[in-house]
Amino acid sequence: MLAASRFCVKCGKEIGEFVKGLCVPCFLEKGTLIELPKSITVDYDRRSGRLRSGRDWVPDSDGEVAKIVAGRILSLAAPQKLPIEGLAITVRRVQDRIAVAVSFSTIVEGGDGGVAGGVSIPFSAELSVYLRKTISDASMKLSSNYHEAIMQVRFAKRPTLEEGRQKLAEVLALLKAEKRKIELSEAIDTKNVPGGFDLLIGSAKAAKKVATRMGRKYGIRPIYSNKMIGMNDNGTTKYRHTYCLKF
């Protein structure tokens, strides 16, 4: 009995891997597995210089652009249940656009031989990312002097200029760390007052977290108070929160 031979039903090729009776090149001629768009548009907050990634606003960096593109690729592959392996993304800034080169491989089930009953199919493409200038809701609020909290930093003894700057830098660094998750985590103003300084902070939640962390670090307990400042659109009472740290 003659052994059954494998060959591409289109070109007749007899060596290599096959998918549904076709060699890989002929299989790919039918069309790409993932229809990656030639370009995508990403919202860019012109005030803060941040990009919209899902519900979040993240720093404008090549790494964040790569994450956004990777998310788009995974979302396109998910409905077809195509595993993505060896994903590599290269970002290059070119005048009014961002050129992104992507490459990866995916496993197509139903192949004749190959990897675990499937065939590894390579994929590479280049797309453009365009930044659409806009302004986020949080930036609109912050630019209009909106703040939900006040952080008061006070010193038992008159601090040196360096001590005051060091504490201010610590608070600002902690606020910046929270900004990825809380867009209103920003000090819109700093005011020098007798015994220390006040920071007007957009997010009450961020102010509380920063005050708690500073208190734990220096072994002090933040003093909390609030003041009613009006009503929200839904009829609930609005408060301005104050956190005082006494060093």
Question: What are the residue ranges spanned by the domains of the chain?
Answer: 18-134, 137-246
How confident is the model at residue 152, as a pLDDT?
95
Q: What percent of the chain has pLDDT over 70?
A: 84
Strand partners of residue 39: 128
If pLDDT is split at 50, 70 and 90, which confidence band does 29 have? Answer: low
- Res 15 pLDDT > 90: no
Instruction: Answer for the pair 226, 180: CB distance below 8 angstroms, yes or no.
Output: no
The tens digit of pLDDT for each residue in 108-164 reads: 765 554 444 577 778 888 999 999 999 999 999 999 999 999 999 999 888 888 888
Query: In whole angstroms, what is the distance from residue 140 CA to residue 131 CA?
Result: 19
Question: Phi/psi at 199 (nearest 5 deg)?
Answer: -120, 130
If pLDDT is split at 50, 70 and 90, which confidence band does 232 have? Answer: confident
How confident is the model at residue 3, as a pLDDT?
42
Q: Say which amino acid occupies 195.
A: G
Query: In whole angstroms, what is the distance from residue 172 CA to residue 221 CA?
Result: 19
149-154 and 237-246 as β-strands: parallel, antiparallel, unpaired? parallel
If pLDDT is split at 50, 70 and 90, which confidence band does 22 have? Answer: low
If pLDDT is split at 50, 70 and 90, which confidence band does 240 have? Answer: confident
How confident is the model at residue 171, as a pLDDT?
95
Q: Which residue did the predictor score with more confidence, 82 or 59?
A: 59
How confident is the model at residue 2, as a pLDDT?
41
Does pTM top 0.85 for this prediction? Answer: no
Query: In whole angstroms, what is the distance from residue 67 CA to residue 59 CA?
Result: 12
**Which token pair is 239?**
């408060």
If pLDDT is split at 50, 70 and 90, which confidence band does 190 have? Answer: very high
Specify the range with the lowest mean pLDDT, choosing from 3-12, 184-193, 196-205: 3-12
Find tokens 């070119």 and name the residue.
Answer: 94
How confident is the model at residue 109, as a pLDDT?
64
DSSP 182-242: -TT--EEEEEEETTEEEEEES-HHHHHHHHHHHHHHHT---EEEEEEEEE-TTSPEEEEEE
Query: In whole angstroms, what is the distance from residue 102 CA to residue 236 CA?
Result: 49
